[in-house]
Chain A
Amino acid sequence: MAITLTETAANRVEKFLANRGKGLGLRLGVKTTGCSGMAYTLEFVDEMQDEDVAFESHGIKVIVDPKSLVYIDGTELDFTKEGLNEGFKFNNPNVKDECGCGESFTV
């Protein structure tokens, strides 16, 4: 299994990284918080940790810590527009249930 980006998402990440002027890649993770147990995190990466797992998708380095990986392995990150809003979306095959707003989930 692996973590992948859609091409749209990869293009966006590339643009954001270029705009930021620094960063190794993109970090995906989960935090145990929120109304339904877990929440996704999405951050720029300046420093990699020893235990980090790295993937590469459409030229973007995707970094996940091993504890998060078990919850999101197989995830495809997409970038979409919903009305006026736009942003990244986790298509995570492990999810069993989400809270109403979709910001947190259970596996």
Chain B
Amino acid sequence: MALLQISEPGLSPAPHQHKLAVGIDLGTTNSLVATVRSGMSTVLHDEHGHALLPSVVRYLQDSIIVGHEAQAAQSLDPVNTIVSVKRFMGRALHDITDRAHIPYHFVENDSSQGILEIKTRAGLKSPVEISAEILKTLKARAEKALGGELTGAVITVPAYFDDAQRQATKDAARLAGLHVLRLLNEPTAAAVAYGLDNAAEGVYVIYDLGGGTFDISILRLSKGVFEVLATNGDSALGGDDFDHRIFCWVLDQVRSKTKDFKPLSEEDTRLLLTKARQAKEWLTDNHEANIVCKLSNGALVDETLSVAQFVTLTEHLVIKTLSPTRKAMRDAGLSIDEIKGVVLVGGATRMPHIRHAVQAFFEQEPLTNLDPDKVVALGAAIQANVLAGNRSGDELLLLDITPLSLGLETMGGLVEKVIPRNSTLPIARAQDFTTYKDGQTAMAIHVVQGERELVSDCRSLARFELRGIPPMAAGAARIRVTFQVDADGLLSVSAREQTNGVEANITVKPSYGLNEDQITSMLKDSFGAAESDKAARMLREAVVDAQRLIEAIQAALAEDGDTLLNADERQQIQTHIDALLALCQGTDSHAVKQASDALNHATEDFAAKRMDASVQKALAGKNLDSLEL
């Protein structure tokens, strides 16, 4: 007979109506699936008792292998064995800057705007398809373990994932036949796993040091609602770097003892890295680790690494995590004593000196009683259980934030921010824009993401056009542009002309990629470049104003220049225009403004003459009685 789980009072499912929901941690290195059974969140294991599924997919001629077996074949068949596919999600080929170090044959897909694909022996595979294979494996595991079809899944993504990356994750789930109940930010999932949603209100910090990435997130809990106050991190810092430090240390030791030491072969590198990782894990509970192995060139490695040595070797890595931590605290505008609790996530946080550093920084002991590898999946499962309707009343609502500001391009290549960074999701913001030229009937809307003032320094997300604006004088049209980001962090932008109601809109699709390095560096740049950005903005604004002035004067000259001005007067105005045009090419915003003022001044007489002329024209041939004044 079927096996039953304990339900909440009054919520027993009818037969064949189980609402089986899972939480999936789709990780760069490993993935997990968890579910809530009898009110308890548990990670589901495979037939061999493994909880972690290595996020590795190997393509054979007519079959696909996912997980440990694929991982084992990584060095045998690197071209067809895809690891860390999460790094390629929603990204274009030009986003992958370290292509030279990756063994895959990348191909640019011409049908979908530069989205990359990987050439395998089974054909071209997109990152979405590859991720879908991992999700399919987890789905099969869950359905076997739960004895039924899944109602839906909550899938976690890094808080910094942009719209394209989130959309790609959703597409992968759809391809795997999973109904996505919600994408959930990883730190938020970790907080839920610790039941912080039932804890005292306050601010919590999630310190997540994974295999290759570091993320810090600050969440505020109030009235049972989570709000992400700030996120920061380092996309090139993780547990692997600690392994690498040990690896380098071992290599130095061996080199100093061996004459004419030859460069390591690929297998030796892999072997030594594995030994380094084992030593790191051993040092979590022991005082020293022995690293013993024989290299293929016959050299024997036999080294002993003490905890103290390890700490010295890797201290700078630990310190490196504290600078993004400080930045996030500053972004959130918080001091240490306002932090109510600290949660550790990621296998690397098992290292005692990491724990000590975190404890020292936040002046309190971090929460560590859940397995740091599983905590994200456990939290996702709890959220999935709520969303599937298996829990009564006390539904928990999770709020997330936008990692970077969203805005659009205005005249002069400037960015108008519509939704600022760190806004809580879902969010909708509208802003009115207008036309720049007389009789303008169309407007190009260029959606950008980033913190900088100039479009060229931000990331382009999408472009579309609003057509059918009724012809009006410049500045008379009212175009309302609405930015909307849904609970999954996906952006849609619509523009509507207010007088005749013409409308155009766009949803951001995964056609543009941005790597995590770029996000962090974009953030960093925006702080570093604040001064120069301000100067650039002033210059562009001055130039836009100057150009508008020149355009107006040239139009007036074309109309009345011959009749109202003599050659001298005309030449004088032209000299001012030429001078201003020349300055517009330069970088001195002050000079541009001065020249604009001068031009304005020089044309005052002309303007007065035009005014007189038009009044005369209006009055010509009319007697006083016929005028309606």
Residues on A lying within 8 angstroms of B by beta carbon are: 12-13, 15-16, 19-21, 26-27, 29, 31, 33-35, 39-47, 80, 82-90, 98-99, 101-104
| Distance (whole angstroms) from the CB of B31 to the closest CB of chain A | 17
Q: Which one of B2, B9, B40 contacts A19 once the chains associate, using CB atoms below 8 Å?
A: B40
Q: Which one of A16, A46, A103 contacts B1 once the chains associate, using CB atoms below 8 Å?
A: A103
Query: Which among B11-19, B328-336, B548-556 touches the partner chain?
Result: B11-19
Rounded to whole angstroms, the CA-CA distance of A49 and B14 in the bound complex is 22
> Nearest A residue to B5 by beta-carbon distance?
A87
Please tell me if the beta carbons of B14 and A88 are within 8 angstroms of each other in the complex. Answer: no
From 198 to 242 in chain B, residues with beta carbon under 8 angstroms from any chain A beta carbon are 198
> Nearest B residue to A85 by beta-carbon distance?
B147
Question: What are 8 A-B residue pairs whose CB atoms fall within 8 Å in the complex?
Answer: A20-B40, A40-B4, A41-B12, A84-B46, A84-B145, A87-B4, A101-B2, A103-B2
Rounded to whole angstroms, the CA-CA distance of A12 and B1 in the bound complex is 19
Known interface pairs A44-B6, A88-B6. Does A15 touch B1 (Cβ–Cβ under 8 Å)? Answer: no
Residues of A within 8 A of B14 (CB): 31, 33-34, 39
Contact with A along B185-202 (1 / 0, CB 8 A): 000000000000010000
Q: Which one of A29, A35, A39, A85 contacts B146 once the chains associate, using CB atoms below 8 Å?
A: A85
Residues of B within 8 A of A42 (CB): 4-7, 12
Task: Give the dominant DSSP class at B's interface.
Answer: loop
Please tell me if the beta carbons of A44 and B44 are within 8 angstroms of each other in the complex. Answer: no
Rounded to whole angstroms, the CA-CA distance of A43 and B38 in the bound complex is 9
Residues of B within 8 A of A90 (CB): 1, 4
Q: Which one of B10, B146, B198 contacts A43 once the chains associate, using CB atoms below 8 Å?
A: B10
Residues of B within 8 A of A46 (CB): 9
Rounded to whole angstroms, the CA-CA distance of A83 and B2 in the bound complex is 12
> Nearest A residue to B198 by beta-carbon distance?
A21
Please tell me if the beta carbons of A35 and B15 are within 8 angstroms of each other in the complex. Answer: yes
B586 within 8 Å of A by Cβ? no
Please tell me if the beta carbons of B9 and A43 are within 8 angstroms of each other in the complex. Answer: yes
Rounded to whole angstroms, the CA-CA distance of A21 and B145 in the bound complex is 25
B-side interface residues, number (CB < 8 Å): 29
Residues of A within 8 A of B7 (CB): 41-44
Rounded to whole angstroms, the CA-CA distance of A67 and B137 in the bound complex is 44
| Distance (whole angstroms) from the CB of B272 to the closest CB of chain A | 36
Residues of A within 8 A of B39 (CB): 16, 19-20, 44
Residues of B within 8 A of A104 (CB): 15
Contact with A along B34-50 (1 / 0, CB 8 A): 00011110001111000
Residues of A within 8 A of B3 (CB): 80, 82, 85-89
> Nearest A residue to B1 by beta-carbon distance?
A102
Please tell me if the beta carbons of A34 and B15 are within 8 angstroms of each other in the complex. Answer: yes
From 263 to 306 in chain B, residues with beta carbon under 8 angstroms from any chain A beta carbon are none
Interface centre among B10, B15, B198 (most CB of A within 10 A): B15
Rounded to whole angstroms, the CA-CA distance of A99 and B45 in the bound complex is 29
| Distance (whole angstroms) from the CB of B480 to the closest CB of chain A | 49
Q: Which one of A16, A83, A89, A101 contacts B6 once the chains associate, using CB atoms below 8 Å?
A: A16
Please tell me if the beta carbons of A43 and B6 are within 8 angstroms of each other in the complex. Answer: yes
Contact with A along B79-112 (1 / 0, CB 8 A): 0000000000000000000000000000000000
| Distance (whole angstroms) from the CB of B392 to the closest CB of chain A | 10
| Distance (whole angstroms) from the CB of A106 to the closest CB of chain B | 13
Residues of A within 8 A of B12 (CB): 29, 31, 41-43
Would you list the 4 A-B pairs with minimal beta carbon distance, nearest first? A102-B1, A87-B3, A41-B12, A34-B15
> Nearest B residue to A16 by beta-carbon distance?
B38
Rounded to whole angstroms, the CA-CA distance of A45 and B144 in the bound complex is 29
| Distance (whole angstroms) from the CB of A30 to the closest CB of chain B | 10
Interface centre among A31, A33, A84, A104 (most CB of B within 10 A): A84
B182 within 8 Å of A by Cβ? no
B141 within 8 Å of A by Cβ? yes
Residues of A within 8 A of B5 (CB): 42, 87-88
Please tell me if the beta carbons of A43 and B11 are within 8 angstroms of each other in the complex. Answer: yes
> Nearest B residue to A40 by beta-carbon distance?
B4
From 20 to 58 in chain B, residues with beta carbon under 8 angstroms from any chain A beta carbon are 37-40, 44-47
Q: Which one of A27, A39, A83, A84 contacts B15 once the chains associate, using CB atoms below 8 Å?
A: A39
| Distance (whole angstroms) from the CB of A6 to the closest CB of chain B | 14
> Nearest A residue to B18 by beta-carbon distance?
A103
Rounded to whole angstroms, the CA-CA distance of A46 and B47 in the bound complex is 36
Taking A20-B39, A84-B145 as given, write out 4 further A-B residue pairs in contact, using a Cβ cutoff of 8 Å, ordered by the A residue number: A84-B45, A85-B3, A86-B145, A103-B2
| Distance (whole angstroms) from the CB of A4 to the closest CB of chain B | 16
| Distance (whole angstroms) from the CB of A104 to the closest CB of chain B | 5
Residues of B within 8 A of A86 (CB): 3, 37, 145
Rounded to whole angstroms, the CA-CA distance of A51 and B56 in the bound complex is 57
Rounded to whole angstroms, the CA-CA distance of A47 and B535 in the bound complex is 68
B438 within 8 Å of A by Cβ? no
